[in-house]
Amino acid sequence: MDIRKLKENHKLLKEYKYELGKVDKGYANRTLYVNISNNTIKEKPVTDFMKDKFVGGKGFGMWYLWNAVTPTTRWNEPENEIVIAGGPVCGITQYAGTGKSLVCSLSPLTDIPIDSNVGGYFGPLLKFAGFDALEIQGKAEKDIIVYIDGNTGVVTIEEAPLEAIDGHVLGEQLTEMYADNEADKRNVAVVTAGTGAEHTRFGLLNFTFYDPRRKVTRLKQAGRGGIGTVFRDKKLKALIIKFSNVKGDLNNAFDQAIINKTGIKYHKEIHDLDSKQNNMRKIGTANIIEVMDAYDLLPVMNYQYGMHPDTQKIKSTVFIEKYITQGVQDGCWYGCSMACAKAADGFELKTGPYKGHKVTVDGPEYENAAGLGSNCGIFDPEGILELNFYCDTYGIDTISFGTATAFAMECYERGIINKEITCGMELNFGNFEAAVELLHQMSRGEGFGVTVGQGIHKMKKLFAEKYGADPDFLFDIGMEQKGLEYSEYMPKESLAQQGGYGLTNKGPQHDEAWLIFMDMVNNQIPTFEDKAEALHYFPMFRTWFGLYGLCKLPWNDIVPADNKYTSEPAKVPEHVQNYLDVVYGVTGKKLSVLDMIKESERVYNFQRIFNIRMGKGLRANDKIPYRSMGPVTAEEYESRKERYDKQLAEKIGYDPEDKTIEEKMAVMREYREDQYEKLTDAVYKRRGWNSNGVPTLEHLKYLGIDFPEVVEIVKDLQ
Amino acid sequence: MKYLAKDESKCIQCGNCEEVCSKTYFKINDRAKSCIQINERDGNPEINVCDQCGECIDICPVMAISRDKLGVVRINKKICVGCFMCVGFCSKLSMRQHDEYIEPFKCISCGLCAKQCPSEAIFMAEKDDSEALELQLDKVFSK
């Protein structure tokens, strides 16, 4: 469509002019607040209190959200906000992974705060345009866009009736519309959802960046928790920012030289070691597909199994050799030498509204390959790429889609739901056509796709209440907790990872803790206390990235050559020091590792209490489905009989000889559930929480977040 | 392509090349600001300077590095975003960086240093374009 015509049909609802600012040691010191109910735009100061207590990024998001909502606010009410914030380090260009935005909102899946981190250029450009955060509240009447011109200091709210909704089209249209010419396109960044976000609860946000080599607008995703659903419910079509003249020193760092030195050292490390370690520059996170399979950790057919002979059809080398363009700089922000944002170019779509189009598919990341692939029994690289593409452009989270579809497939295969319920669809594992049709239905808002799009939590209720399914069995096999679908690792044999998923704030997402290798493969954390220490340190350490606008992958996907000789290789001590050096370089703040953990603990505990305020966040909400702990069905037990029999004998002292599978499974279950409870006790204790999972007043005092409104929530739960 | 060739066995480590380079491009005699650097390895002189291989061209996120008509690899400082990936990824360690500047710098085969070299250890030369390491993007994206 003619871009001029699209623009001519915009109707200006509000224009707001502001003074361009200068970033000082990583902070713009202002937030942009936009209310799209009444078209109010204003600036808010970022206070020293906010910086001291919440640092930035997710910390600011949680703080603004806390102040915007009440305990009864739900995701689709005007009070709910979408907050996008980078963090003080966000926007430097010398170290890898420094362009992340953290997006916070009340989730349609969980009814509690969700935080999702995303690359692309919006976060850094927002800061250079003058703002540490963008806070969007209210609901518009008609489809609107919000445009921030960081070159001239103008913010507008405009009705935009004619533009597309799907991410890959809308991203291109708006990049073209707001860029002066081809060279200017990289100075425009767009946030979109997609048509699927309108009809599901797991809608995502696409954050664009323009790729000057491919001449394509690339998409990165704030995937988890349904923020795209909130976005479309607000009738937001897109957010656009423009800022030209990005340079390497716009953060006005306290000491640029330290950042340069640390960054160059890291770039050299990637140059020298990537091809010897994980091949992140060749295939990104998908390098671990076959590794997960080899260790029995790849979710197969709704997490029933951890490996499959057909994994070789979707192993990383298949994508490298046949689909993913090699040798092109693929960072999602300037200076990311890890360059994991891989893409398949010239991929011809076989289904749906864009059938026959040759497109650039952003991915596959590991989670996509596992969620859309093995977990749904789809061992077809082109099927995975097609699902990946449509999830992105429709604005649908690949993880929730994959896990929810896998659940629906298992229900279908077990006869819990039938063809009548699926509207004629044969929803067997491995049926790519069915999976992709579900996705197209989510885009169109029709058929069984809409049911799957409500997420596992809602499906379980529906299947039990309407179709007479056994709710206990659905609880066992439905891989969700707090309403959020599990991400794509099989945690059955790693107690620590069961805790890594279950004892989270937002729900089972591996970004808070990924301990499978430490626990299961390397056996580095054998006791409850060891596991509890890991489930304290790592979630806090990982939270910290989100406070500063950082990506976690450069921390441990490639490690220094001598890392294995350090005292704690799992922590990658040299890289931790790099981060402390970079933060010092940007802000002038000299942090120790303890300070770092304490900064995270403030935000983490605040989020925990926010959950409690919204009606979750207690021990009962940390319960996990048994499928994530052990074998639910006889088939699962049989598939690992030797392992399970051995464990019964050696760990539990139960002789498996002459016992029925049911008897053995019952003993195994009792043992494993008890282990999880013991782990929960140990972790709560280590985190400074009582046995109900509530942060103690003493701990809040230690952290300096014993504000009256926080204490009010927990004082009667001590 | 035009490049600065070297014969390390002839180098007498006088430092003339470093001086002329830094004076020409940064108006100061400071070897840390010279594109060519004379070092010593195992007691022998080592001349470190860009050979215009072009490996850095594909590393740059904003395509600020390109090869000019003469085959010389040049940085467009106006669009450079100062990420220094090209510095970390130069296999020959010949891409330079100095903390007073937010862009890197490199030898552009101007030949001024060769003229100052008393021992003919460095000299201008030509090599075949087939030695260029950068991707041909037209071919990569034509599939």
- Measured CA to CA, the distance from residue B122 to residue B139 in angstroms comes to 35
Chain B residue closest to A265 (CA)? Answer: B88
Could you report the predicted ipTM of this complex, rounded to two decimals?
Answer: 0.98
pLDDT score of A522: 85
- Measured CA to CA, the distance from residue A319 to residue A311 in angstroms comes to 12
B133 touching A (Cβ < 8 Å): no
- The fraction of chain A above a pLDDT of 90, given in percent, is 98
A residues 306..325 contacting B (CB < 8 A): 325
Question: How many Cβ pairs closer than 8 A exist between chain A and B?
Answer: 87
Does pLDDT of A309 surpass 90? yes
Question: Considering only CB atoms, which chain B residues are within 8 Å of A183?
Answer: 79
B57 touching A (Cβ < 8 Å): no
pLDDT score of A516: 87
Q: Shortest CA distance to A375 belongs to which of A350, A408, A351, A341?
A: A408
Question: A406, exposed or middle or buried, with CB in 10 Å at 0-12, 13-18, 19+?
Answer: buried
pLDDT digits (tens, 9 = 90+) for A136-161: 999 999 999 999 999 999 999 999 99
CB-based contact B83 A248, cutoff 8 Å: yes
Mutate to test the interface with B, among A185, A256, A271 (most CBs of B within 10 A): A271
**Rounded mean pLDDT, A342-347:** 97
- Measured CA to CA, the distance from residue A538 to residue A504 in angstroms comes to 11
**Rounded mean pLDDT, A323-345:** 96
pLDDT score of A1: 66
Chain A residue closest to B97 (CA)? Answer: A260
Does pLDDT of A531 surpass 70? yes
Handedness of CA A626, A627, A630, A634 (dihedral sign): positive
How does the average pLDDT of chain A come out, rounded? 97
Question: Considering only CB atoms, which chain A residues are within 8 Å of B87?
Answer: 264, 267
Chain B residue closest to A264 (CA)? Answer: B88
Q: How far is B107 from chain A (nearest CA, A)?
A: 19
Chain A residue closest to B95 (CA)? Answer: A264
CB-based contact B81 A93, cutoff 8 Å: yes
The single-letter DSSP state of residue A390 is H
pLDDT digits (tens, 9 = 90+) for A652-678: 999 999 999 999 999 999 999 999 999
The low-confidence residues of chain B, meaning pLDDT below 50, are none
B103 touching A (Cβ < 8 Å): yes
Does pLDDT of A294 surpass 90? yes
Chain B residue closest to A214 (CA)? Answer: B141
Comparing A426-435, A443-452, B129-138, which segment has the lowest mean pLDDT?
B129-138
Length of chain B: 143
- Measured CA to CA, the distance from residue A292 to residue A369 in angstroms comes to 12
**Rounded mean pLDDT, A418-431:** 97
Q: How far is B111 from chain A (nearest CA, A)?
A: 28
Q: How far is A319 from chain B (nearest CA, A)?
A: 16
pLDDT score of A441: 98
Strand intervals (E) in A138-254: 144-149, 154-159, 188-192, 205-211, 216-222, 236-242
Does pLDDT of A129 surpass 90? yes
Does pLDDT of A135 surpass 80? yes
Under 8 Å between Cβ of A308 and A300: yes
**Rounded mean pLDDT, A77-102:** 98
pLDDT digits (tens, 9 = 90+) for A359-377: 999 989 999 999 999 999 9
A265 touching B (Cβ < 8 Å): yes
Q: Please, what's the largest Cα pairwise distance for chain A?
A: 79
Q: CA-based Rg of chain A, rounded to a whole angstrom?
A: 24
Question: Considering only CB atoms, which chain B residues are within 8 Å of A212?
Answer: 62-63
CB-based contact A335 B62, cutoff 8 Å: no
Chain A residue closest to B79 (CA)? Answer: A245
**Rounded mean pLDDT, A404-409:** 98
- Which one of B62, B88, B141 has the shortest CB-CB distance to A337? B88
**Rounded mean pLDDT, A55-76:** 98
Question: Considering only CB atoms, which chain A residues are within 8 Å of B103?
Answer: 248
